[in-house]
Structure 1
Amino acid sequence: MNESPAEAQQQLLLGNVHKKQGLLEDAMQCYQAGVTLCSGSAELWFALGTTLLELSRLPEAVAALQQAIALQPDSAGVYMNLGNAFNEQGCTEDAIQCFQRGLTICPGSAALWFNLGIAFSSSSRLSEAMAAFQQAITLQPDFPNAYLCLGSVLKEQGLSEAAVQCYQKGLTVCPGDAQLWHNLGTTLLELRRLSEAVAALQQAIALKPDLAAAYNNLGNALLKLQRLSEAVPMLQQAIALKPDYTDAYINLGFALQFQGEIEEAIDFYNHAVTLNPTNPEVYNNRAQAILLSGNLVRGFAEYEYRTKLNRCRHSYEWFTNKPRWQGEIFAGKRLLVYDEQGCGDVIQFSRYLPLVKARGGFVQFSTPKPLLRLFTNFPGVDELIEHTAAAIVRTQFDLAVPLLSLPHIFATTLRTIPAGVPYLTADSHSIVVWHRKMNCSGTNLRIGLVWGSNPAYAFAHIRDCGLKAMSPLAGIPGVTFYSLQKGEAAQQANTPPASMQLINLTDDIADFADTAALIMNLDLVVSVDTAVVHLAGALGKPVWTLLPSACDWRWLLLRNDTPWYPTMRLFRQSTPGNWGSVMTAVARELSAWQAGGTV
């Protein structure tokens, strides 16, 4: 067939017109006609391959672009588009080779370096991806997508603070880029820099008012700041912009749950389930709302979805090779009941172990090292194991079950909670040792204080009151306070409120067995929601638990007592963040007790 370059050129020009009009199929037909008329035109093969790429007809695109390279091997642009076609096919190594070949021709192309970074990132070659994105930024400092992708790679490597700096650097040259503000805000949110996150996300919305993800993340940040009245409309707007936005329904349900509007929260969780019935996060959140309402049977049944959460997978992956115990008689077998959450959960739900033992067999219990001494000789446990990978691998067992599945297995209701106390005891010798350490008048009330929870918990800032907030307790005569606070917040004991007699012996506390022995020498424990309240309750000691307005599901709604611990009283915030009214109530009750009342 004779070549017709002039007619082919006409097809190229006509195809270009169609392409500018968005008529990709018509453009493709023109380019196909053109290469039929003039098969030696690299320009036509390139135009055809690029259009096929835009139409996601990837194998055809690859073939056309390879033909263009055969005809014009020194074209960096052809290598870039061929690399993009390979990348979209999942052929990342071929894509990398194309981009690298293109860079030998045009090393100053920021776009080629950027695309090379994308391919390296797809291959999990993160260090090389970082270098490529950084080179793209060096060549083109106002390249917002390069900052976005570099930030994502940094976060993937756990370098969130560096990602923040990356986004901030990008915003100095691209201050009007809404996506950069959004990514900055979401990263600050993950770092719990909440006020900064709010400001960044608000800026993203100002620049792009239809960015649904920004409203969702802003609502989440406001929720964590306990600015619930502001969080709810942000989440509602996210849903208005994106009616199938599962995460926004989850967060809105959570916000309503925080406000105590349980039925409304469950309705939004139900909608999220309809949208995404395979998402365990939805079921897990709904389960906690149901538990908060007091329906323990249904709530604990649905709470089993926690074992399917990606973020919790590490808690269960050591045990998947053994059958899951479902509550059957297991005589002649070894059952491992294992820890899965915090120390407070272990203490609270260890009450079920004697019920497990009653169903026969040999009961093994794995628990973190700080609890090992406390659980020595615990009723219902035949073998105590430190909860580490190495110890679990060495342990021989036939069946396994996570500790927090026991309430479901035993069909627990509010009336059937095993609430007999004490179900934990402190070593008698340790109690005497701690008594000798305590320098307190025999007539003074001895009260233990905890003002901070585990900072690793996402809502620790909501649970914590700080020692300064306890200053209303300082003026009560005849009371000596003892710090039970461990961790970062323990430093506050060095500067107690004026007039508070606070004795700090916590440097001598090695584990929860020591804490238990110290508590047994106290008259009362006053604490925020942390493991110490569970320990005091399990020991049968009087304990007053200080709760935020948005409290954990186990404390139910509106009650000042709890079916889990008969010796515990609950003091709740009336409004989010207001510890003043809580401490006033505690001080009033403490003064009354000191004057001869009851705990």
Structure 2
Amino acid sequence: MTNDHLADAIASFQQAINLNPHNAEAYNNLGNALADEGNLAEAIASYQQAVTLNPKYIEAHYNLANLYNIIDKLEEAIASYQQVISLNPDDANAHYNLGVALGKQGKLEEAIASYQKAIVLNPKDAEAYNNLGNALQEQGNLEEAIASYQKAINLNPNYAEAYNNLGYAFQEQEKLEEAISYYQKALTLNPNNAEVHNNLGNAFEEQGKLEDAIAYYQQALALNPNYPNAYNNLGKVFIIQGKIAEAQILLRQALTLKPNFPEAHENLGVTLLYTGDFKNGFAETEWRWQIKEFIRLHLPQSLLWDGSDLQGRKILLVCEQGFGDGIQFIRYAPLVAQRGGRVIVMCYESQRRLFNTVAGIEQLVTMGTQVEFDVHAPFMSLPHILGTTLETIPAQIPYLLPPQPYPFTLEVPPGMLLKVGIVWAGNAANKNDRYRSCSLSNFLSILNIPQIAFYSLQKGAKTAELSELGIGEKVQDLSEKFHDFADTAAAVAQLDLVISVDTSVAHLAGALGKPLWLVLAKVPDWRWMLDREDTPWYPTMRLFRQLRSGDWAEVFERVAVALENAIAKSQSSAITDKLTQDKLTQTISYEEKTLLPVDGFNRLKKCRHGVFLYNINDTYIGRSLDLYGEYCEGEIVLFKQFVQPGNLVLDIGANIGVHTVFFAEAVGAQGTVMAFEPQRIIFQNLCANLALNSITNTYCYNVALGDAIGSVKVPVLDYNRANNFGGIELGSHIEGELVQVITVDSLNLPYCRLIKLDVEGMELQVLQGAVNTINRLKPILYVENDRLEKALSLLSYLHSLGYKMYWHITPLYNPNNYFQNAENIFGDIVSMNILCLHSSSSLTVSGLQPVEIPN
């Protein structure tokens, strides 16, 4: 009908209404004419008047429902269709259209029931079968959806839309060949359907046939230049190809056409992360929570943390995605604690023991546990919430620690210079696994390099490749030792190097600070960025990238060369170490070349944390360094959780500096260590050890500390007599050298992270002389407490200062000692200390027993 004819019709119907205002049929006809004209609001008003005049006027109810459906007033449409059905329960079309409206609302069960009723009333309705299939598919019931589509096609063999939907259902089942065949059938029937071209592109992209996918996406856009889905999908393929700039153009076009398009925002965020624009990249990836396929945490958006100060509130941090993501982003837990939060972490059971070593976590729970909290944040939202940029990535390594003692010790064949762990496959369920994983056969080129002991860190079905390739003698399979990630961490800690594809074990090695060579696809995951051999996330990681997509052989050629160079360097180092050892041991055969007099009391050795000069007659420290290459390593393991670059640390009772040297390395060039040692000879040894390790950020003081400024006598010991010292008493009654006494408060420290205190029973006096500093700066305190007669007064004083206290008792003998010496000369002797955290601090500890003060 022409516009002129419509105008005449409208005028005629209005004239009829003027003549008879109660003419419901005239109002219905006027509504039809107005709807044809596009004047929907007035059409609706006419239909409403018609049903007001005649509540049983089925046609008017039906017309009104259809218009409401068109303009997405779904509640009104549903009410009108239901009114039609109440008047005529056998109206198949009304049931069908009611199903359409209910489906738009997401009421799938009700929509399915309506479609099924329509089919009962009209078994030959192909469209009802097709829409029933859509609802079933959206519900996740793919088998029934496929059956419904097939019935639609049986009724109408030329039903292109049903073929397209059938292809989509098979694609969801990952039956890509079947999906492609049905898409192509749909195109045969309707070659100009842009949606089918787009779906074919998706199927080919999932098969890894990227050029075919691109061709179909481009054809979809040629047919429909305003098709946001095709722009997004083409952009996604360009990301896979590493064409980041081109992908951004396409994704921005998708967002111009559809501003609230979550998938396009997410993909745009990935492109920005590749380029290092973390601020905008992480902001865009927050759209992932609106993507249907994404894992839902079912946590209230209203309680999402915004980064503000937490002021003691409980915050739940949730490991939302894979194992590797959890390991990468658990580094943020201490930063959240520093914002005043009481941190609860929800993680996978296999990571619980590992994450127990992270500072600042108050409680660890497994996925799905019901827990009370005030606010929450998903792990991968933390970089956005905390404003992480490329320059401010928290990369203080290690932030994870292996269990102590190790649950097992790696077997090392004789003559090996390097212990290397390998991983060749990730989780096969990951959509990108076909790009990131490789076959164990790719590692064969490096397994024949001599003097390297190889260990498989691989888990799961892929471990079968070890026996399939017959290389069990070349690679020790450790998989049976791994019950969780803490066990894997214990293995990694005993290795010199890990070589891995992009898996959770790679993240684990990086988080432990272990040297890691990561072999990568030409275009890897966003976190490894593009065209660089390092990563700001893990300072000890080296990246080996494919130069050509899929070419692992060339990558491993470079890895082999690097390994051979490492072996050559190790051989040179081993020769040097052997010569040095020959010079420094008591059994040296070339006495004229020794660096130290063999009849003296001092020895010099390369130990776990540096080169140390020590007295072999020292009952504990000297003997431990001499036999084990370390002293009280369990204490250093604890310090690693708290001491960070830039800190100021006081080492009071530093002795010869075993812990001082560690502190100096841990605080870095921007940090400071102040070491105090009153015994003159030991003080000289302390200074020598700092010099031997080229340390310049540490200040040494040959003074004692106490509760008031003054002086005290230090005994003069016979350092040549075996086992004659291991702890000294200070006091005016003692014969010896007079040394100055100062107080910590007299130092007027501007800040302080940690005070370590080991002064042979004088700990309380030192704390009393530090009371102003402690109240002002609230540092972490680590205090020796092995004198029973003084323990209660010491604990009571610390409690009065507002400190929470935890026992830290470590054996002097460590089975996993640096020299791998199995002989335990110390028996059950332990070092007894207390770790003290101020009650106002957000720092928490796990695995330590709280100190209980008796009434």
Query: The TM-score by the shorter chain falls in which range?
Result: 0.7 to 0.9
What amino acid is the match of 1:549? K
- Structure 1 stretch displaced more, 265-274 or 299-308: 299-308
| Residues 425-472 of structure 1: CA deviation (Å, up to 9, x unaligned) | 11023x2x333xx67745567654444434554434443435566666
Please tell me whether the aligned partners of residues 471 and 498 of structure 1 are also in contact (alpha carbons under 8 angstroms): no
Alignment of 1:304-315 (within 5 A): 304-306=286-288, 314-315=296-297
Instruction: Please provide the CA RMSD for this pair.
Output: 4.3
Partner of 1:385: 364
Counterpart of 1:559 in 2: which secondary structure? coil
Equivalent residue, structure 2, for 1:153:
135
Evaluate the alpha carbon distance shift between residue 28 and residue 164 of structure 1 in structure 2; reply closer, same or farther with a 3 A threshold: farther
Instruction: Provide the C-alpha distance between the structure 1 equivalents of 2:395 and 2:235, rounded to a whole number of angstroms.
Output: 31
Work out the CA distance in 2 between the residues paired with 1:285 and 1:158. Answer: 25
Counterpart AA for 1:260: G
1:36-95 residue CA offsets vs partner (Å, 9 max, x unmatched): 889999988876665566654234235446878858x8xxx7776566467565331441
Using a 3 Å threshold, how does the CA distance of structure 1 residues 36 and 335 change in structure 2: closer, same or farther?
Answer: closer
Displacement of 1:555 in angstroms is 0.6
* CA spacing shift, 1:439–1:243, aligned 2, 3 Å: same
Partner of 1:11: none
Q: For residue 46 of structure 2, what is the aligned residue in structure 1? A: 60
- Check whether the contact 2:533–2:542 (CA below 8 A) recurs between aligned residues: yes
How many residues align? The count is 561
Mapping 1:69-468, distance limit 5 Å = 70=56, 84=66, 89=73, 90-91=75-76, 92-99=78-85, 101-104=87-90, 109=92, 111-119=93-101, 121=103, 126-134=108-116, 136-137=118-119, 143-306=125-288, 314-315=296-297, 317-318=299-300, 320-321=302-303, 323-326=305-308, 336-358=316-338, 362-379=342-359, 381-386=360-365, 388=367, 390-392=369-371, 394-395=372-373, 397=374, 400-408=376-384, 412-429=388-405, 431=406, 433-435=407-409, 441-442=413-414, 447-465=420-438, 467=440
Instruction: For 1:481 and 1:26, locate their aligned partners in 2 and report how far apart those are by CA, in whole Å.
Output: 90
SS in structure 1 opposite 2:355? coil
- In structure 2, relative to structure 1, the CA distance for the partners of 1:120 and 1:338 (3 Å cut) is closer
Secondary structure of the corresponding residue to residue 314 of structure 1:
coil
Q: Deviations over 1:309-361 (max 9, x none)?
A: 566583473463365224x5x66555554433332122112334444445556
> What pairs up with 1:7-26 in 2 under 5 angstroms?
18=1
Q: Using the alignment, how far apart are the partners of 2:117 and 2:345 within structure 1?
A: 54
- 2:594 match: none
- Provide Cα deviations, 1:492-533, integer angstroms capped at 9, x if missing partner: 458633445565554553321122223334454443322121
After superposition, give the CA deviation of every residue in 1:342-401 in whole Å (9 maximum; x if it has no partner): 32122112334444445556544443332221011312x141331545443x24x4x654
- Secondary structure at 1:529's aligned position in 2? coil
Does the CA-based 8 Å contact 1:86-1:95 persist in structure 2? no
Aligned counterparts of 2:472 and 2:66: Cα–Cα separation in 1: 68
Q: Secondary structure at the match of 1:569?
A: strand
SS in 2 for 1:550: coil
Q: Distance in 1 between matches of 2:6 and 2:516?
A: 72
- Three-state SS of the structure 2 residue aligned to 1:428 is coil
Q: 1:66 to 1:184 in 2, by over 3 A?
A: farther
Q: Is residue 558 from structure 1 mapped to residue 531 from structure 2 by the alignment?
A: yes
Q: Which moved more, 1:151-160 or 1:306-315?
A: 306-315
Provide the residue aligned with 2:502 in structure 1: 529
Secondary structure of the residue that 2:517 maps to in structure 1? Answer: strand
CA distance in 2, matches of 1:453, 1:157: 30
Runs of 5+ consecutive residues of structure 1 not aligned to the other structure: 1-17
One-letter amino acid of the counterpart of residue 127, structure 2: N
Report the secondary structure of 2:201's partner residue: helix
Instruction: Give, in whole Å, the separation in 2 of the partners of 1:40 and 1:331.
Output: 69
Partner in structure 1 of residue 468 of structure 2: 496
Q: For structure 2, list consecutive stretches of 5 or more residues without a partner in the other structure.
A: 572-855
Q: What CA distance in whole angstroms lies between the structure 1 residues aligned with 2:442 and 2:160?
A: 40
* TM-aligned CA deviation for residue 297 of structure 1: 4.4
**Percent identical residues:** 37
CA distance in 1, matches of 2:163, 2:5: 34
Name the SS of the counterpart of 1:570 in structure 2.
strand
Query: Where does residue 549 of structure 1 map in the other structure?
Result: 522
Do the aligned partners of 2:506 and 2:516 also contact (CA within 8 Å) in 1? yes
Is contact 1:474–1:497 with CA below 8 Å preserved after alignment? Answer: no
Question: TM-score when scaled to structure 2?
Answer: 0.56
Q: For residues 560-589 of structure 1, give each alpha carbon's deviation from its aligned partner in whole angstroms, at most 9, with x where no partner exists.
A: 332322333334344444555545655665
Q: 3-state DSSP class of the match of 2:395?
A: coil
- String of CA shifts for 1:78-124, please: whole Å, max 9, x gaps: 776566467565331441342354344x6xx5x45533533554576
More moved, 111-120 vs 284-293: 111-120
Residues 322 and 145 of structure 1: is their aligned pair in 2 closer, same or farther, counting only changes over 3 Å? Answer: closer
d(CA) in 2 for partners of 1:522, 1:541: 8
For 1:195 and 1:559, the matched residues in 2 are separated by: 38
Confirm or deny: 8 A CA contact 1:226 1:576 kept in the other structure.
Answer: no
CA contact (8 A) 1:483 1:493 kept: no
User: 1:114–1:468: structure 2 CA closer, same or farther, 3 Å change rule?
Assistant: farther
Question: TM (normalized to structure 1)?
Answer: 0.77
Query: What's the CA shift for 1:168?
Result: 3.6
Deviates more, 1:438-447 or 1:264-273: 438-447
Give the whole-Å Cα distance in 1 for the aligned partners of 2:147 and 2:67: 32
The Cα offsets for residues 457-493 of structure 1, whole Å up to 9 and x where unpaired, read as 4434443435566666677777776554445x45745
Q: Report the AA paired with residue 238 of structure 1.
A: A
SS of 1:517 mapped into structure 2: helix
Distance of 2:322 and 2:385 partners within structure 1: 20
CA distance in 2, matches of 1:472, 1:247: 44
Q: Hey, what does 1:14 align to over in structure 2?
A: none
SS at match of 1:565: coil
Distance across 1 between alignment mates of 2:107 and 2:383: 45
Q: Is the 8 A contact 1:52 1:61 kept in 2?
A: no
For the structure 1 residues 324 and 79, does the alpha-carbon distance in structure 2 shift closer, same or farther, using more than 3 Å as the test? Answer: closer
Larger-Rg structure = 2
More helix by share: 1
Structure 2 contact 22–53 (Cα < 8 Å) conserved:
no
Deviations 1:121-162 (A, max 9, x none): 457654453344345456666644223211111023221343
